[in-house]
């Protein structure tokens, strides 16, 4: 057996080969032409959206956070399945606008937007999530010079945080959003600005597997939105409540009970619709949509034993997949689920460490895992690799070529 988590069971196996999009891994590697590469399964993406539709209340819009995986083919596929996109840069904006999704259902969030990016967003007619009072002032000036009034939602830094989240993005001092206690005064200023207020973006944290925590923060988010709406210059038409849905990466992780979270949100919706009848409620998800639908594949180029420890040295590494190396937000390094993708039916015979080809001890993809005996030429698979892969990694480090990406 390979050192796997239950999440890897989403991929089928034929003989001893992992199947991606129904294609045996060895054949897929030949089709790609070289290793390393990321492969994303089109059918698994479709199934994930279908599952979310079953769990989320009717009438709640589902938006994809493009930053999780901006590969154009992935975004194009999701354009047929989701209700909108959230982008965090001009490049992501262009990828989203190249799809059939209407600009009115594209939102632009993130601190430090440049004037050039804001001008592009105004011209595109997308919703701009304003992150600071200074950004709002700049946006007003740019709008007046352009002759176009942009639709604006205030991103709110809430006065609470998302407990048990992998990464907190609300509560306390944050570079994200306007502090909730400042929002009423900012809303009062908007009467004289050349922008159209449409609503709020309230997001407290990401990568959460605790349903109770998510349900609590969703209730607080809706309460905060209603409270702030009393100060708004016009009715709330857009309410992005974020997401924060996590995926299991490690053996002790338990999958999030999305049906429970969705059911609780559904119970809150009638009161919200009564108080904010024009609001389009948006759940924004990235990692939860794509994370479990992708794998990272590298090829073993050397096998060595050093003082009794087996090292499988691959042509991949942290320059392609920083998160798997433990250097992307992990406080204590833990292994992503890993397998020898062309020996899936073989028994685990040894404990080995999988390392990349970079000249740094940080280039560790899997530390002392139980695997079948692997040889030069075998394919190492890192699961849970559909989100925050190449674009969240130092791909130019040491001058090695970037990985290929494929949607199958």
Number of domains making up the chain: 2
pTM across the whole model:
0.94
In a domain, 347, yes or no: yes
235 and 97 within one domain? yes
Looking at 285, 308, 331, which one is the last position of a domain? 285
Q: What is the pLDDT of residues 358-377, one digit of tens each?
A: 999 999 999 999 999 999 99
Quick check: helix, strand or coil at residue 140? helix
Helix (H, G, I), strand (E, B) or coil at 131: coil
Give strand ranges (E) for 227-293. Answer: 238-240, 280-285
Identify the domain boundary among 265, 285, 305: 285
Last residue of a domain, one of 234, 252, 285: 285
Residue 10 has what pLDDT?
A: 86
Q: Are residues 202 and 316 in the same domain?
A: no
Query: Both 141 and 264 in a single domain?
Result: yes
- pLDDT average, residue stretch 294-305: 98
Whether residue 317 is predicted with pLDDT greater than 70 in this model: the reply is yes
Is 4 a residue whose pLDDT tops 60? Answer: no
Please tell me the distance from the alpha carbon of residue 86 to that of residue 75, in angstroms, as a whole number: 11
Asked if the structure places residue 111 within a domain, the reply is: yes
Percent of the chain with pLDDT over 90: 88
Note the pLDDT of residue 166.
47
Same domain, yes or no, for 173 and 315?
A: no
The answer to the question of residue 400 being in a domain is: yes
Residues 271 and 348 in one domain: no
CA dist 292 and 290 (Å) reads: 6
In this structure, is residue 56 part of a structural domain? no
**pLDDT at 174 exceeding the cut of 80:** no
Query: In the structure encoding, which two tokens stand for residue 360, read together?
Result: 């740094």
Answer whether residue 48 is part of any domain.
no
Which of 8-12, 58-62, 76-80, 85-89 is the least confident region? 8-12
| Structural domain containing residue 305 | 6-40+294-407
Q: 3-state SS string over 183-217? A: HHHHHHHHHHCCCEEEEEEECCEEEECCHHHHHHH
**pLDDT range class, residue 323, cuts 50, 70, 90:** very high
Q: What local confidence, expressed as pLDDT, does residue 169 receive?
A: 53
Same-domain pairing of 262 and 302: no
The confidence score (pLDDT) of residue 405 equals 98
Residues 259 and 354 in one domain: no
Is 49 part of any domain? no
333 assigned to some structural domain: yes
pLDDT in tens, 137-160: 999 999 999 999 999 999 999 987
161 and 215 together in one domain: yes
Whether residues 135 and 279 fall in one domain = yes
pLDDT at 394 over 60: yes
pLDDT at 165: 47
Residues 138 and 211 in one domain: yes
- Domain of 328, CATH number, reads 2.40.37.10
How large a percentage of the chain has pLDDT more than 70? 95
Residues 182 and 312 placed together within one structural domain of the fold: no
């Amino acid at each position: 057996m390979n050192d796997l988590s239950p999440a890897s069971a989403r991929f089928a196996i034929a003989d001893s080969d992992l199947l991606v999009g129904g294609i045996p891994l060895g054949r897929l590697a030949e089709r790609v032409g070289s290793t390393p590469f990321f492969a994303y399964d089109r059918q698994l993406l479709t199934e994930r959206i279908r599952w979310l539709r079953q769990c989320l209340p009717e009438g709640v819009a589902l938006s994809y956070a493009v930053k999780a995986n901006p590969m154009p083919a992935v975004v194009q596929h999701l354009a047929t399945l989701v209700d909108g996109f959230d982008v965090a840069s001009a490049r992501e904006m262009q990828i989203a606008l190249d799809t059939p999704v209407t600009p009115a259902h594209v939102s632009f969030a993130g601190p430090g937007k440049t004037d050039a990016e804001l001008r592009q967003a105004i011209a595109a007619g997308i919703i701009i999530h304003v992150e600071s009072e200074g950004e709002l002032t700049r946006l007003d000036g740019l709008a007046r010079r352009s002759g176009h009034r942009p639709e604006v939602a205030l991103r709110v830094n809430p006065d609470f945080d998302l407990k048990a989240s992998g990464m907190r993005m609300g509560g306390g001092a944050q570079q994200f959003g306007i502090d909730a206690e400042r929002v009423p005064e900012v809303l009062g200023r908007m009467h004289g600005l050349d922008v159209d207020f449409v609503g709020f973006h309230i997001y407290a944290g990401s990568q959460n597997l605790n349903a109770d925590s998510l349900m609590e923060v969703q209730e607080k988010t809706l309460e905060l939105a209603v409270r702030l709406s009393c100060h708004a210059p016009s009715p709330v038409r857009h309410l992005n409540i974020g997401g924060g849905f996590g995926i299991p990466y490690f053996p002790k992780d338990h999958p999030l009970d999305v049906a429970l979270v969705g059911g609780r949100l559904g119970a809150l919706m009638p009161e919200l619709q009564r108080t904010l009848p024009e609001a389009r409620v948006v759940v924004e998800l990235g990692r939860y949509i794509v994370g479990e639908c992708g794998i990272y594949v590298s090829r073993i180029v050397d096998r060595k034993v050093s003082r009794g420890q087996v090292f499988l040295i691959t042509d991949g590494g942290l320059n392609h997949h920083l998160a798997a190396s433990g250097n992307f937000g992990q406080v204590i390094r833990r292994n992503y689920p890993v397998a020898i993708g062309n020996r899936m039916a073989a028994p685990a015979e040894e404990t080995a460490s999988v390392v990349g080809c970079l000249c740094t001890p940080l280039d560790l993809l899997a530390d002392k895992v139980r695997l079948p005996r692997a040889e030069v030429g075998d394919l190492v698979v890192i699961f849970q690799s559909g989100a925050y892969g190449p674009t969240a990694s130092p791909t130019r480090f040491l001058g090695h070529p970037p990985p290929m990406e494929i949607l199958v």
